[in-house]
Each structure stands twice: as structure tokens, then as C-alpha cells.
Amino acid sequence: MSEVVHNRIALLRAEQGVTRRELAEALGVHYQTVGYLERGEYSPSLHLALRIAAFFDLPVEVVFSIEPFPRISDQSRSA
């Protein structure tokens, strides 16, 4: 079983026009941590995951998942 935690951080940042540095400063982490999270090289603590979800004003399960998120291009084909 994979221990990877999938996330939508990069997508949410792009939608809201937030840089990695801005998100990092708001969360109190180093900007490289945001990059590690986005690339799946680091899984956040529960506390950090909840803070990220709160930053984007979304439920944590919208931002993070233990299953890969469907690609947006795949969703538009099935509609």
C-alpha cells in the first residue's frame, strides 16, 4: 500500500494567484516545503494539512487524498 498523500496545492495556488513564497509565509514554513508537498516528496502532518485547507477555505479532503485525483482533462471528456 502506498504512503503517498496526493494534493491539489499547485492547482489551488494557480487558481488563486498565490506564489509558493506567499503560501509558505502564511503557513509559517519554508517555501521549499511547499514545493516538496506539491511534488509529493513530503507528506504533511495533520496539523499542516488542516492549515493548508484552511488557507484555501476548503475541506481538507478537497485538498488532500490518499487516492490520486482525477485529471481535469479526463473529467471534461466524460462530461
Question: How does pLDDT run across 13-36, given as a tens digit for each residue?
Answer: 999 999 999 999 999 999 999 999
Residue in 11, 2, 3 with CA at minimum distance from that of residue 69 = 11
72 within domain boundaries: no
- Residue 69: what pLDDT? 87
Q: Give the range of the structural domain holding residue 31, as residue numbers without chain letter.
A: 6-65
- Whether residue 46 is contained in a domain is answered as yes
DSSP-derived 3-state class of residue 75: helix
Q: What is the mean pLDDT of residues 54-77?
A: 86
Q: How many structural domains are present in the chain?
A: 1
Domain-located, residue 19: yes
CATH of the domain at 15: 1.10.260.40
- pTM (two decimals): 0.85
